Structure 1
Amino acid sequence: MVSKNIAIVASLGAALAVTFMPGVVSATELEPYEFVTAPDGTTVFIGYALYGHHDKLAPDKGPTLKDGTNLDLELSIARVAHYFNIGKTLALVEVLQPFGTLNKARIGGTSFKRSSGLGDTILAAAVWPINDKKRQTYFGVTLYVTIPTGKYDKLQTINLGGNRVVYDPQIALHQGFGEHWSTDLTADLIVYGDNDEAGALGEQTLSQRNSVQLQGFLNYKWNNGLTTSIGYQGYRGGRQRLDGVSNGLRTDFNEVRFVASKFIAPKFQLLGEVNHQLNARGGFRQDVGFLLRGLYIF
């Protein structure tokens, strides 16, 4: 078993540089009410602080590595969005810039150098074919494009940057029911470009099949303006290959999420989230995650 684990660590370590991509995940991991629209001409600034503790790594095949396995994510994201009309259709453009640290990375007792600095920049554009405030129905379509501007060292195992372009078309629906209840539903198809500086020496090509992401929230708005939500997020697919050979990694997990938010001033909202992944295959399992978000409307 020891020799098998050493082989698994070597294989996984060579690919982790593009396996753990917090910038992409954070861009498409929506919060409740995010597709409820703002008026034409509105600019919004959003700041995020995230922490995630990962306690084990479960390859697609083979034993789960828990003893001596750890990864801590400490990430911030600055996000600016602007709403405008195209004819009679509301649209939005935005940019997101993550920065932070991947820290205390270990797999099966083998430690890896931390990565800190800028993550990959994310550009996005959205339109709302349905924007019906009276019926509380908002249906939006978004395209996220992640460009490889983040810190990437081909000789380093853990990297904040992915060294590849990622496309993520997303559809989202928010539907309200009366004065208190609402739901959010989203679906993504994530398409990954190749990283041609992967592997132990940075001389191999890492490719990845498409991933599918589903998210949902059930929301309740209290009389004092506080909103609480319980949600689900799931990823499927995303199997990776290094020079055409499977490396045992993919994107596959289920996550439960608990969110509370409140406008503490007319133009400023605070939001907090706690989440936990029930299972994960083909990558790290996040045992507990925390998110704090501040939103200001100009």
Structure 2
Amino acid sequence: MKWIVRPIAVTAMLAMAGFFCGQARATELEPQEFVAAPPGTTVFLGYALYANHDQFVPVAGPSVKDGTNLDLELGIARLAHYFNIGKTLALVEVLQPFGSLNNARLGGQRLNSSSGLGDTILAAAVWPINDVQKQTYFGVTLYATLPTGAYDKTRVVNLGNHRVALDPQIALSQGIGKKWSVDLTADLIFYSANTEAGLGGGQRLSQSETMQFQAFLNRKFAHGFTLSAGYQGMRGGKQRLDGVDNGNRTHFDEARLVASKFITPRVQLMGEVNHQFDVRGGFSQNVGVLVRTLYVF
């Protein structure tokens, strides 16, 4: 039956051109990101990420493993500034992804690579609750992903998504004593249509909303070292190409392990390893590695 499964999976992959790396990473938070900084603080963050995907999992039918691969090599430059609106803490930030998608194969069929800039993300946040003494931080953020990334309608694999996405997000960070804390976030992501989708362009790719949930349990140690165990889950995101369900979804669970350390009062280094499971309707990430540097001005 492989000769039947592979063409179906390849067709699904061709239909998902322009939608792979943008939104999932745009709103993926790291531990304690909603522990608010004082107003007037500016923070620069630099990310380097590598992810290997070793199978394609359709919504129905067996996974396509043989001859399937996709490597994501992504950098993100992020600049954030905290300020007050009256007595409420707020933040504005910009994120610029860049990088490449390489070694793309599906069922033995070699696909193109893609490199350059990803879609630019603008964000604004407010903290209705910013209680340092109780270690309680509750924030609301709106992310806007703009269609500025590399996109070629004649290519199957693209860094850019060629559409707008809006993502309202709520987040709670709560300290528990002097050493423990938890982070909880929830999103609902909305997508505009990509009207240059499909092999060769000219088709309309629409997508239903995606729900995203994230959680971390954090443990502080001496000398500015923190260890975190986390979970990320995405649900929904049914895609339609010219009104027909193409079988692609944003459905996966991800286990995450993160270590971070302030090496000076202004500089933090962080590393993460993660693995996806229960993937449906897309490439399955076998292993992901992320390194982040944070500098406080």
Matched length: 297
User: Deviation of residue 181 (structure 1)?
Assistant: 0.4
| 2:38 corresponding residue in structure 1 | 39
User: Deviation of residue 62 (structure 1)?
Assistant: 2.0
**What pairs up with 1:156-167 in 2 under 5 angstroms?**
156-167=155-166
- 1:113 equivalent in alignment to 2:103: no
| 2:186 corresponding residue in structure 1 | 187
Q: Give the 3-state SS of the residue equivalent to 1:224 in structure 2.
A: helix
| 1:279 corresponding residue in structure 2 | 278
| 1:140 corresponding residue in structure 2 | 139
| 2:19 corresponding residue in structure 1 | 19
User: Deviation of residue 265 (structure 1)?
Assistant: 0.9
Judge conservation of contact 2:45–2:292 (CA < 8 Å) in 1.
Answer: yes
User: Deviation of residue 7 (structure 1)?
Assistant: 2.7
User: Deviation of residue 58 (structure 1)?
Assistant: 0.5
How big is each residue's C-alpha offset from its partner over 1:166-211, in whole Å with a ceiling of 9 and x where there is no partner?
0000000000011000000000001011000011120100001100
User: Deviation of residue 214 (structure 1)?
Assistant: 0.3
How big is each residue's C-alpha offset from its partner over 1:64-95, in whole Å with a ceiling of 9 and x where there is no partner?
10111100000000000000100000000000
User: Under a length normalisation based on structure 1, what TM-score does the superposition of the two structures give?
Assistant: 0.98
User: Deviation of residue 224 (structure 1)?
Assistant: 2.4
- 1:74 equivalent in alignment to 2:73: yes
Judge conservation of contact 2:191–2:206 (CA < 8 Å) in 1.
Answer: yes
Q: Distance in 1 between matches of 2:142 and 2:279?
A: 26
User: Deviation of residue 45 (structure 1)?
Assistant: 0.3
Q: Give the 3-state SS of the residue equivalent to 1:256 in structure 2.
A: strand
Judge conservation of contact 2:144–2:164 (CA < 8 Å) in 1.
Answer: yes
Where does structure 1 lack aligned partners over 5 or more consecutive residues? none
| 2:204 corresponding residue in structure 1 | 205
Q: Distance in 1 between matches of 2:179 and 2:63?
A: 43
| Higher mean C-alpha deviation, range 7-16 or range 44-53 | 7-16
| 2:64 corresponding residue in structure 1 | 65
Q: Distance in 2 between matches of 1:28 and 1:100?
A: 17
Q: Give the 3-state SS of the residue equivalent to 1:265 in structure 2.
A: coil
| 1:261 corresponding residue in structure 2 | 260
Name the amino acid aligned to 2:80.
A
Q: Distance in 1 between matches of 2:74 and 2:265?
A: 27
Structure 1 residue runs of 4+, over 4 Å off? none
| 2:9 corresponding residue in structure 1 | 9
Q: Give the 3-state SS of the residue equivalent to 2:263 in structure 1.
A: strand
| 1:126 corresponding residue in structure 2 | 125
Q: Distance in 2 between matches of 1:16 and 1:68?
A: 19
User: Deviation of residue 162 (structure 1)?
Assistant: 0.1
Q: Distance in 2 between matches of 1:280 and 1:103?
A: 21
Judge conservation of contact 2:19–2:160 (CA < 8 Å) in 1.
Answer: no
User: Under a length normalisation based on structure 2, what TM-score does the superposition of the two structures give?
Assistant: 0.98
